[in-house]
Chains A and B, each alone.
Chain A
Amino acid sequence: MTQGAGLPVAVDAMGGDKAPGEILAGALEAAAAGIPVVLVGPEGLEGRGDLPLIVASEVIEMDDDPAKSIRTKRDSTLVRAAEAVRDGKACAMISAGNTGATMASALLRMGRIKGVQRPAIATPVPVPGGTPTVLLDAGANAEVNPDWLVQFAVMGSVYSRQRYGIEAPKVGLLSIGEEPGKGDTLRKEAWSLLAAEKSLNFIGNVEGRDIMTDAVDVVVTDGFTGNVVLKTLEGTLKTVIKALFGAFADPAYKEHADALLPALLPMYATFDPDNTGGAVLLGIDGVCIISHGSSSARAMVNGIKVAREMVDTDMVGAIRAAIEAMTPEGAEG
């Protein structure tokens, strides 16, 4: 039987720019769709219908220091949500609140999977007409060691396989050129280690332009670079889409625009971050979904669905097995 089956997904009712309104709306919709949900929020939280509530009296704000706030706000919604998973009251947690504090809460309350040196944030990047590329780390670790990148690659491969059904995900190391010698010391050392890891389908270095194509399924990098890449992609897509719709608004092109819209709107939906189901913190001994700060009700519904899916497919168990099966250090590549 799947671990956590029947348990609800813990939803941080107070996390995010649109909390609690949009968060509650999403939680209610997910529950109506048959996914058990438990909210974590203040006593007397209104607008939650008949959803159960784990009471938490404090809220970690978006600008709170992550490491400090989870120690000083022990009765916060984030900390209580992570504790609910740890204590077997919930099968997973999701928050659209402070990303650093979400990560710290999960790390300190649920703990790491044995052998995992650092958890990483895995974000699905849309690929038009294809399966998303998993980018990690998208911001959990600003600085990394080369061997952490190998673990990120292993965890990202499991995620790609479990969620998107790709049997042997193509793993690329993000660098400034395809040749093995390209990049800084970190990238060069990581390249050798990745090439030696037998459990990976490592294809070598990839560049930023490859991420939104089917050339690669999993892209590994440090959290600083990953976050910059992610925000750059988001900003670029928004700008291009805005410019495109601006051009379509011209009466001279209206007839053509109307004809094209049925083809373009699904593509637009592909790029909408509310449809990706959020980022996932991999390497934690539990399921933790990090939804973006401006999450709508739809984003929460999709995030809750992904959380449930990760529990049902035992993503944590699969990562644990993959980490245990890694090539021993020093073995021939």
Chain B
Amino acid sequence: MTIDRTAVLGTVTRHLADILEIDVSGISEDSTFSDDLGADSIALIELVDALEQEFSSTLEGFAFDDDELAGLKSVRDAVDYVVRAHGG
């Protein structure tokens, strides 16, 4: 199944804003986790866990591959990963 990219972006930014305790308006698709948002490794694990729980309802067993986590540098990377996993 495919998934709406805009909806995924909204979900990723919503969780990030919640985890980092910042306004969602301060997060864009181009934002990098570390340099732009100041997210550290624990924050990224919080994000990954939240996304896995959220999207396992649309794709059973959805999970990030641990080997690919290091490649997630930006909001766009996370959105791409989720969309790709859903066949987009």
B26 to chain A, nearest CB (A): 17
* Interface-side segment among A37-45, A66-74, A130-138, A162-170: A66-74
Q: Are B52 and A71 touching (Cβ within 8 A)? A: yes
Question: Can you list 17 A-B pairs with a CB-CB distance of less than 8 A?
Answer: A67-B45, A68-B66, A70-B49, A71-B48, A71-B49, A71-B52, A71-B63, A72-B63, A104-B45, A107-B42, A107-B46, A108-B45, A108-B46, A108-B49, A114-B21, A115-B21, A118-B42
Q: A115 contacts which chain B residues (CB < 8 A)?
A: 21
Among B21, B45, B52, B66, the most chain A Cβ lie within 10 Å of the Cβ of: B45
B82 to chain A, nearest CB (A): 15
Tell me the B residues contacting A by CB distance below 8 Å.
21, 42, 45-46, 48-49, 52, 63, 66
Say whether chain B's binding surface is mostly helix, strand, loop, or mixed.
Answer: helix
Q: Report the Cα distance A118→B43, complex, angstroms.
A: 10
Q: A114 contacts which chain B residues (CB < 8 A)?
A: 21
A283 to chain B, nearest CB (A): 12
Q: A72 contacts which chain B residues (CB < 8 A)?
A: 63
Q: Report the Cα distance A108→B21, complex, angstroms.
A: 15
B44 to chain A, nearest CB (A): 9
B57 to chain A, nearest CB (A): 13
Q: B63 contacts which chain A residues (CB < 8 A)?
A: 71-72
Q: B46 contacts which chain A residues (CB < 8 A)?
A: 107-108
A148 to chain B, nearest CB (A): 11
Within 8 A of B (CB), among A118-177: 118
Q: What per-residue 1/0 map shows which CB atoms of A57-76 lie under 8 Å from chain B? A: 00000000001101110000
Known A71-B48, A108-B45, A114-B21; further 12 A-B contacts with Cβ < 8 A:
A67-B45, A68-B66, A71-B49, A71-B52, A71-B63, A72-B63, A104-B45, A107-B42, A107-B46, A108-B49, A115-B21, A118-B42
Q: Report the Cα distance A306→B21, complex, angstroms.
A: 30
Among B42, B45, B46, B66, the most chain A Cβ lie within 10 Å of the Cβ of: B42
Q: Report the Cα distance A115→B42, complex, angstroms.
A: 15
B38 to chain A, nearest CB (A): 10
Q: Which B-chain residue is minimally distant from A65 (CB atoms)?
A: B66
Q: Report the Cα distance A104→B48, complex, angstroms.
A: 13
